[in-house]
Amino acid sequence: MATSTNNPPFGSRYGRTGASGPAAQNSFSTPATAPFGGRQTQQKVEAERFERERKAREDRERMEQAGQNSLAELSEEQREEINEAFALFDLDKDNHIDYHELKVAMKALGFDLPKQEILSILQQHGVQATSQAAGSKSKQPAQQAYQLPPRLLLPLHTFQTLMASRILARDPREEIIRAFELFDEGNKGKITLQDLRRVARELGEGLQEEELVAMIEEFDMDADGAISRDEFINICLG
């Protein structure tokens, strides 16, 4: 009996089971290399994440060290001012302050920062709050919560070093202007005899009327009966 030559080879009838050569190698190698490539990608992502965290940690450590050096350069009075501002707005006395407390504490020290800068400080230097701390700091209306970074608080020691660096970098004229504004009630642009009376009373200074008048006369260069901001700056800068 004659054998038909039209029947396809075994490999042709049942797919590429019997194939050989490059095509066969590709069919078997593809499944094997995919997981290996996936592991490489995952390792690369992990390495990049580790490197980012390492750099961020080093940056924080450098800034904290610089802040400690700055804190040591401040006067005792300036350090007390920083601590008093923090204590005043740390309402639950847990040595941490949230977004709103940080904003008003910095403003009390003369740094009226926009919202984005306050958020940036918390994102760079804040710590994750515990559930208890997060609950105690939830004093803000619910409709505002979405605007704040979730459960980030600034510790006292970080606040101290950050404020020390800012105070040292501040223009001395800014400090003088702040002091002038404390005297100048109503933002008149000048310190009057009435302003001096009020400040002396608030500070408990027993100055006589003649002494207050003499202070005005001594520094009132344009003879208008008051001390202008420029005159006050010149007095302070000597």
Q: What is the pLDDT of residues 128-177, one digit of tens each?
A: 877 544 455 555 554 444 444 457 999 999 999 999 999 888 888 888 88
Residue 7 is predicted with a pLDDT of: 52
d(CA 79, CA 104): 18
Residue 10 has pLDDT above 50, yes or no: no
If pLDDT is split at 50, 70 and 90, which confidence band does 34 have? low
Let me know: does 90 contact 117? Beta carbons within 8 Å.
no
pLDDT of res. 173: 85
Please give the pLDDT value at position 146.
45
How much is the pLDDT for 148?
A: 46
Alpha-carbon 235 to chain mean position:
35
All structural domains of the chain: 47-135+148-169 (1.10.238.10), 172-237 (1.10.238.10)
Structure confidence at residue 81 (pLDDT): 93
> pLDDT value at position 207?
82
What pLDDT does residue 227 have? 93
- Residue 9 vs residue 49, higher pLDDT: 49
Question: What does the pLDDT average to over 122-127?
Answer: 91
pLDDT digits (tens, 9 = 90+) for 61-104: 666 665 567 888 899 999 999 999 999 999 888 999 999 999 99
CA–CA dist 61, 124 (Å, integer)? 12
Instruction: Assess contact for 127 and 152: CB atoms under 8 A.
Output: yes
CA 189 to chain centre: 33
- What is the rounded distance in angstroms from the CA atom of residue 160 to the CA atom of residue 67? 8
Average pLDDT for the chain: 78
| CA nearest to 220, candidates 209, 229, 208 | 229
Task: Report whether pLDDT(27) > 50.
Answer: no
Q: Rounded to whole angstroms, how far apart are CA atoms 101 and 108?
A: 11
Measured from the Cβ of residue 120, the count of other Cβ atoms closer than 10 Å reads 13
Reading the block at residue 103, the tokens are: 């904003």
Q: Where are the alpha helices (DSSP H) in 126-224?
A: 131-136, 156-169, 172-183, 193-203, 209-219
Amino acid 20: pLDDT = 52
Q: What is the pLDDT of residue 103?
A: 95
| 102 burial type by CB count under 10 A (0-12 exposed, 13-18 middle, 19+ buried) | buried
What are the tens digits of pLDDT across the range 167-204?
Answer: 888 888 888 888 899 899 988 999 999 999 998 888 88
DSSP 8: P
